[in-house]
Amino acid sequence: MSGPGDGPIGQIFPTAVAALDDDALLALLAPADRAVPRLRANFVASIDGSATAEGLSGSLGGPADRTVFDLMRQLCDVIVVAAGTVAAEGYAGPLVPAAASAWRVANGLAPHPAVAVVTGRLSPDPESEFFAQSPVRPLVLTAASADAGRRRALSEVADVIDCGSATVEPGLIVESLVARGLTQMHCEGGPSLLGALIEADVLDALCLTISPSLEGGSGPRIAVRPGEAAPIDLRAMRLDHVLHASGMLLTQYTRVR
């Protein structure tokens, strides 16, 4: 029996296509103009809105979701991810396979995307496998108020960049990355980071995979904000496409500004 996301990836919107190969998916997901900065997030959720199953987002995905996820990494200049997600999901070693790296070089990109870890408290362990095995020197995006000792330790294995004084400010994340020529930004979580990006209205696009499963209500949403946070206006989004694979839906929405 096939599972969710097994089988070919087809398109049901804006036009129906029975099956899309990787080249067609790359064309669909690629930016219209790489010079125009774009921050795009990629998340998966169950039908009842949970971003995790048994504590991990990967438990909700399937082969189709993984294919699209990998292609977005292949296309981006930088992977933006919260420190908690790095610790929970496993980010040690190359994040794109050799074939994707070769494609990137052939298309004028660096062999491996940059990796930017967002952490207000400089919580990552500088001796972790993530830093030891990273094929590129990571960027650590933090606040100027972070502990000086941890800053010194992490500066040995990463470029530590202040993106705010007391807290990490999403707008400064974008400014700092774009200033380094990293215009195509791919955010992989977690929910608190996505909530902050939405609140600051710096998120340009969201790729949301809907897993054909029910989690039961104990998991978090894809975006969370502190309980005392004030309500924000709804952020209008435009549906770009809907893909499908064995009951799994893979969507992309773009911010309407």
Homologous superfamily of 36-226+235-255 in CATH?
Answer: Dihydrofolate Reductase, subunit A (3.40.430.10)
Q: What is the pLDDT of residue 3?
A: 59
Query: Residue 115: beta bridge partners?
Result: 79
Give the model's pLDDT for residue 6.
Answer: 74
CA dihedral (99, 9, 42, 45) positive or negative:
negative
How far is the C-alpha of 154 from the C-alpha of 146, rounded, in Å? Answer: 11
Query: Would you state the pLDDT for residue 139?
Result: 99
- CA dist 164 and 166 (Å) reads 6
How many residues comprise the chain?
257
pLDDT at 31: 97
The reported pLDDT for the residue numbered 1 is: 37
pLDDT in tens, 16-41: 999 999 999 999 999 999 999 999 99
Q: What does the pLDDT read at residue 228?
A: 78
Low-confidence ranges of the chain (pLDDT < 70): 1-5, 56-58
Look up residue 240 and give its two tokens. Answer: 């770009």
